[in-house]
Structures are given as structure tokens and as C-alpha cells.
Amino acid sequence: MNDVKKGWSRDEMAQRAALDIPDGSYVNLGIGMPELIAKFVPEGREVIYHTENGLLGMGPAPEPGQENPELINAGKKQVTAIPGAAYFHHADSFTMIRGHHIDICVLGTMQVAENGDLANWSTGAPGAIPAVGGAMDLVAGVETIYVLTQHCTRDGQPKLLETCTFPLTGRGVANRIYTDLAVIDVTSEGFEVIELAPGISFDYVQERTGARLSQDKLKASA
């Protein structure tokens, strides 16, 4: 990294997203950065975490010596179960997802379009091994889809676009995007910036976005 890092850190992004998860929610956190959100649920709120391989009431990683290879999350990492947790089989687990019982899902992404199209499972590159997991079920079945992602790819390409170029995970599914630079809603009019990271200007975000951003809400709250 030559540039001084601007905007929110990964932890700060997760912390910002955690603010928008209401008390009492049933939440599915995607593999990777979304998992950090569990560390930042504000005091006084209780959130129940679902993992699609059959556990409601997922707790943090086990203490050393307490690991169990038969107690894992969807990313196949060892986890714990909270008091009051429940185990169930895969069809029941996806009934929770596909039957709209999970309130919020937070996912990472490769690309997201201004109409809410999401592409996070494949670049479509020849020779790649296609692997979809539960991503298509989550975006089709969960009412509120939050996207937690760096604003640009490692080589500086925008991830927020007019149209996704990678194969879609779902059409019109993303509701809100948390990046290192801003919080952005997906509306019927396109991307609407609702909050900027400290020291980040609207223009700075617009320059790094592949679609037009609205700042009407920012101006209204300024």
C-alpha cells in the first residue's frame, strides 16, 4: 500500500453495519468480513445468528481446547453454540432462509449494480471451478440484504456499477451497501449516499464508483 489508507477500517465498517441491526433480529452473516459484525452489536441488543449448515444461536470461535470438528459454520470454521441454540437439518435451515424467516443477511460481493443486482459467486472466468453455496438462496429469500465490501477491488476498479459484468447471484436484491468510504442505499432511483466516512468527500466516492450517486439525503441532513 503506497497510499495512506483513507476511510473506514474493516472493523469500523463492520461496526457501522452493526448499528443497523435491530434488537431481536435473526441474522445470517456471510463468510469473511461480515462475520466481524458479531463483535460490534451495540450493548443492550440481542441478535440471534443463523448459519445455514444447521445452527440457530451461533456463538464466537471456541476457546483453545474446546474445538469440535462437528460444530462449524458455513465457512467450515469451528464455532460455538450459545445457551438456547438449536440444531436442525439442511432443509429446515433453508426453510428459514427461503421462507423469509431470517430478517437480515449481510454478504460480501464482487459487484453490485444500481438496481440492486448482486454478483458475488463467480467471475465467470474460464477454468474457474463454479461454486455457489447458499448465496443464491440467501439473496432470494431474505428480505433485507446488506452488502459489506471494500468500495473498489484491490486493483482499484469500482465494485458499484451501473450493470454487473460478472454472473449474477440475484436480481434487484441489495438494499444497503457499507463500504470503506460510505454507506449507500439502493433505491428505485439508483445509489443514494446516506453517510460518508470521516474525511471522505462525496466527490471522492463518486470518482471511485461506476454509476451515478445521489447526494440528496446527505444535503438534506447537512
Partner 1 sequence: MIDKKYASLASAVADIHDGATVMVGGFGEAGSPIELIHALIDHGAKDLTVVNNNTGSGHVGLAALIENRQVGKMICSFPRTANSTVFPDLYRANEIELELVPQGTLAERIRAGGAGIPAFYTATKVGTPLAEGFETRVFDGREYVMEYGLTADFALIKCRKADHYGNLVYNKTARNFSPIMATAAKVTIAQAGEFVEAGALDPEVVVTPGIYVNRLVEVTNPQHESELVAAQRSYP
Which residues bind to partner 1, rule: CB under 8 A? 51-55, 68-73, 76, 81, 87-91, 93-94, 97-98, 117, 124, 127, 129-137, 140-141, 167-171
Amino acid present at 222: A
The rounded distance, in Å, linking the Cα atoms of 200 and 193 is 12
CB atoms within 10 A of CB 107: 26
Q: Where are the alpha helices (DSSP H) in 102-156?
A: 135-141
Query: What is the spatial distance between Cα 67 and Cα 82, in angstroms, rounded to a whole number?
Result: 14
Q: How far is the CB of 31 from partner 1 (least distance, A)?
A: 11
Instruction: Select 9 or 123, whichever has its Cβ closest to partner 1.
Output: 123
Cell of 32: 469473511
Pairing of strands 111-113, 160-161: parallel
| Residue 214: CB minimum distance to partner 1, A | 25
Beta sheet of 111-113, edge-to-edge order:
118-119, 111-113, 160-161
Question: Catalytic amino acids?
Answer: 52
Q: Toward partner 1, which CB reaches closer, 91 or 222? A: 91
Q: Under the phi-then-psi rule, with left for phi > 0, alpha for psi from -120 to 50, and beta for the rest, what region is 115?
A: alpha
Least Cβ distance, residue 170 to partner 1 (angstroms): 7
Amino acid at 121: W
Q: What's the min distance (Å) between Cβ of 7 and partner 1?
A: 30
Q: Whose Cβ is closer to partner 1: residue 9's or residue 68's?
A: 68
Backbone dihedral region of 155: left (phi > 0), alpha (psi from -120 to 50 degrees) or beta?
alpha
End-to-end CA distance of the chain: give it in Å, rounded: 33
| Closest CB 134 distance from partner 1, rounded Å | 4
Element (H, E) at 84: strand 80-87
Closer CB to partner 1, 1 or 125, in the complex: 125
Of the two residues 13 and 186, which places its CB atom closer to partner 1 in the complex?
186
